[in-house]
Amino acid sequence: MKLLSTNLLLLLFATSSWLTQAQETGSWKARISVAPELRKSFNQGGRLLFHFSGHHQKEDMLGAEFTVGYTAQNWDGTASFTLEAADKGIMGSVILPASGKFYCQVVYKHIPDDAQENAPGNFYSNIDSISASPGGTFNLTLSKVTAQAVIREQKFVRTIEIKSKLLSDFSGHPRYLKASMLLPSSYYDHPGQSFPICYRAPGLNGRYTFVNIKLEDKDFMDWWYSGKAPQVIYVFLDSRGPYGDTYQVDSENNGPCGKALTEELIPAIEKMVHYNPATKMRYLTGLSTGGWVAVGLQVFYPDFFDGTWAYSPDPLDFEHYGLINIYQDETIFYNRFGYLQPGVRTVYGEPTRSMKDWIPGENLVSRTGNYLVSGGQFGAYNAVFGPKGKDGLPSLMFDPFTGKIDHEIARQWEKYDIRKLLEKNWPTLGPKLQGKIWIWTGDMDDLYSNVATRFLKLFLDKTENPKSDATINFTPMAGHCEEFSDDDVIMMVGKKAAEKAKLR
């Protein structure tokens, strides 16, 4: 992508049929208003995201050809305002068709504790059409509200929501923690029995509502009820946070998320399902971001958790943050050879997106005009691992437009660098982690995260007193999370729990 001042051309899922007939530039106006019944819940300073398409879509346009972002700083929602394509505050430009209609929908991101576009409480409009001829105006009314997801009612599913005192005190307003639980098939046959329990951390920005996906998986549920599945309580965590995924750890920006998880949510869950902590069968699993969480929580709370199974974890070594060394490299946009730094690839090694192309997409959806509060991958990383800035928002580890790394801030990420943390504290952490770490990754991971896992393994293979017994497996030519399976994880958890039960 080519960045011109604050304007960038973002081509998202461009359809060739529309672009073939497109003009080079776009001229459009949008009159935006808030429906009267929504004005009381309007939060000022949110991000307007305009999704454009050359063809009509029934409900939403999250897969539109073009997206434009704009923050109306002084708009209080009580009156409409008109936005023109030439406004200097707009990030993004639209290539319009030479003739015919095109379509637009606007979403208003304004929920303070959830940075996602589809966050419950965000506003959005109907889809409106406009002629491609100059001078037309969209009339877009924010009249709809993204609804809260609902967990399907089912005998073997339980949900929990608690107000977190720790997070509420940190933020100065109420914050809540949620989880859902899938109970084993024999749960009601043994009232009061303590079953092994496994906490599943989702992928990036995943939600506790993922239990609904499992309930719709007939093969999985048939197996779960058959009696062949290990009798394990499977808990789906939620990663909601003000800047994106919280990674379930304490941070300067998100607050004491790890403490809230281990001291508030988990005790409440385990009281609900009669889990006895003395059995020492409290396990973790996760994939991608959740893979990092599964390893990170085991390392940060080595006595609290009793084993972890992590798939394709995010970088566990920040000297290999993908292909970037955050402590030494000058920029995340170019590697030390002067080539564009790739961020995503196929399993055959073909780069499909560079870091220089990735970050503008996060800049666009953020109300600050940079990735700071994007809710995306790098907005989340930055908030979790970095310090708080003077303005109360996270400090940027790298410049959003040049990619230049701020090494003073990068050094402050070290306390979340799992390899460095283990290296520094192995005499005390090593004994507590014996028999507790299992990691899998594909050796052609789409996001290059396997490189960091390789260097973690190199360190663990050299450890002494104790010699690490961590299991780290790599599959040649496999991609990101390719071999993850809830069934396989539950089987491994069940086997581990059965072995531990025999030793008692």
| 219 assigned to some structural domain | yes
66-115 pLDDT per residue, tens = 889 999 888 999 999 998 888 888 998 777 666 677 888 999 999 989 99
Chain position carrying tokens 């961590």: 470
The reply to whether 493 and 429 lie within a common domain is yes
Distance CA 441, CA 287 (A): 10
Distance CA 190, CA 498 (A): 17
**What average pLDDT score do residues 250-268 get?**
98
pLDDT of residue 477 exceeding 60: yes
Model confidence at 19, pLDDT cuts 50, 70, 90, reads very low
Select from 78, 112, 145 the last residue of a domain: 145
Res 61: pLDDT = 62
pLDDT of residue 26 exceeding 60: no
Percentage with pLDDT > 90 across the chain: 81
Q: Are 492 and 200 in contact (CB under 8 A)?
A: no
Kindly state the DSSP code that residue 173 receives in the 8-state scheme: S
Locate all alpha helices (DSSP H) within 140-265, ordered by sequence.
165-171, 211-215, 218-225, 257-260
Select from 366, 397, 413 the last residue of a domain: 413
The reply to whether 140 and 36 lie within a common domain is yes
Model confidence at 62, pLDDT cuts 50, 70, 90, reads low
Domain count, the chain: 3
Whole-structure pTM value: 0.93
Cβ count near 477 (within 10 Å):
11
The reply to whether 24 and 114 lie within a common domain is yes
Q: Are 89 and 99 in contact (CB under 8 A)?
A: no
364-386 pLDDT per residue, tens = 999 999 999 999 999 999 999 99
pLDDT of residue 398 exceeding 90: yes
The reply to whether 407 and 421 lie within a common domain is no
Peptide bond preceding 97 in cis form (omega within 30 of 0): no
Return the C-alpha torsion angle 449, 450, 455, 459, nearest 10: 110
Q: Are 286 and 200 in contact (CB under 8 A)?
A: yes
Model confidence at 297, pLDDT cuts 50, 70, 90, reads very high
pLDDT of residue 274 exceeding 60: yes
Helix-then-strand count for the chain, H and E: 13, 22
The reply to whether 259 and 338 lie within a common domain is no
pLDDT greater at residue 138 or residue 218: 218
Q: Are 399 and 382 in contact (CB under 8 A)?
A: no
Distance CA 162, CA 167 (A): 11
pLDDT of residue 153 exceeding 50: yes
pLDDT greater at residue 95 or residue 400: 400
Q: At what angle do helices 377-385 and 355-365 cross, to 10 degrees?
A: 80
CATH of the domain at 35: 2.60.40
Select from 413, 439, 470 the last residue of a domain: 413
With 0-12 CB in 10 A as exposed, 13-18 as middle and 19+ as buried, what is 334?
middle
Chain position carrying tokens 């055959």: 348
Domain that holds residue 376: 325-413
